[in-house]
């Protein structure tokens, strides 16, 4: 792909990233950080590609380490974020939560 196309993707993504996150409330800072953290675990795609092209055992081992690290980032990131948000979730609908508790 030509450099300017890549640059255009980059620039547009910068704007999207900036705009989407600006003005988020401080209560959500940690989950948002952790969610964004999970997203960059997508480097796993890159790690898989290099592991699939490794030409000797040495390179393969390094590539598999990258796959392992990236998997931990990706899977752990999404799971941890979900757990965190599970706890946050209810907090935002106190009325509903109360009803449910009352029903038990």
Partner 1 sequence: MSLLSIEATALLYLVAAVCFILALKGLSSPKSARRGNLIGAFGALVALVTVFLSTELDNLALIIATILVGSAIAAPISRRVAMTQMPQLVALFNGVGGGAAALVAMLELTHVEGIGAVIAVAFTVLVGAVSFSGSVITFAKLQELMPTRPIVFPGGPIVMSLVALASLAAAVWLVISGDPLASYVLLGLGLVLGVLFVLPVGGADVPIVISLLNAFTGLTVAASGLVLGNTLLLVAGTLVGASGTILTRAMASAMGRSVAGILFGAFKGGSTAGSTVASDRPVRSSSAEDVAILLGYAQRVIVVPGYGLAVAQAQHTMAELATTLEAKGIEVVFGIHPVAGRMPGHMNVLLAEANVPYEVLQEMDEVNPQFKTADVALVVGANDVVNPAAKSSPGSPIYGMPILDVASARQVVFLKRSMRPGFAGIENELLFEPQTTLLFGDAKESLTKVLGAVKAL
**Contact status: 18 vs partner 1 (CB under 8 A):** yes
Q: Which stretch binds its own copies (CB under 8 A): 9-17, 30-38, 47-55, 94-102?
A: 9-17
- Asked whether position 24 contacts its own copies by CB under 8 A, the answer is no
- Which entry of its own copies, partner 1, none binds 99, CB below 5 to 8 A by partner kind? none
Q: Judged by CB under 8 A, does residue 85 bind partner 1?
A: yes
Contact 72, 91 (CB under 8 A): no
Which of partner 1, its own copies, none sits in contact with 100, Cβ below 5 to 8 A by type? none
Binding partner selected for residue 76 from partner 1, its own copies, none, CB under the kind-specific 5 to 8 Å limit: partner 1
| C-alpha–C-alpha distance, residues 84 and 100, integer Å | 20
For the stretch 7-14, contacts whose Cβ atoms lie closer than 8 Å and that sit 24 or more positions apart, written own/partner, are none
Containing 38, the helix (H) or strand (E) segment is: helix 29-39
CA 25 to chain centre: 19
């Amino acid at each position: 792909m030509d450099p300017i196309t890549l640059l255009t993707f980059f620039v547009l993504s910068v704007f999207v990233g900036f705009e989407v996150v600006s003005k988020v409330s401080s209560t959500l800072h940690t989950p948002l950080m952790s969610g964004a953290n999970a997203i960059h675990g997508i480097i796993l795609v890159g790690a898989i590609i290099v592991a699939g092209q490794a030409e000797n055992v040495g390179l393969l081992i390094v590539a598999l380490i990258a796959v392992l690290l990236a998997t931990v980032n990706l899977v752990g990131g999404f799971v941890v974020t979900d757990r965190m948000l599970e706890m946050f979730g209810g907090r935002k609908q106190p009325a509903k939560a109360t009803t449910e508790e009352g029903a038990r």
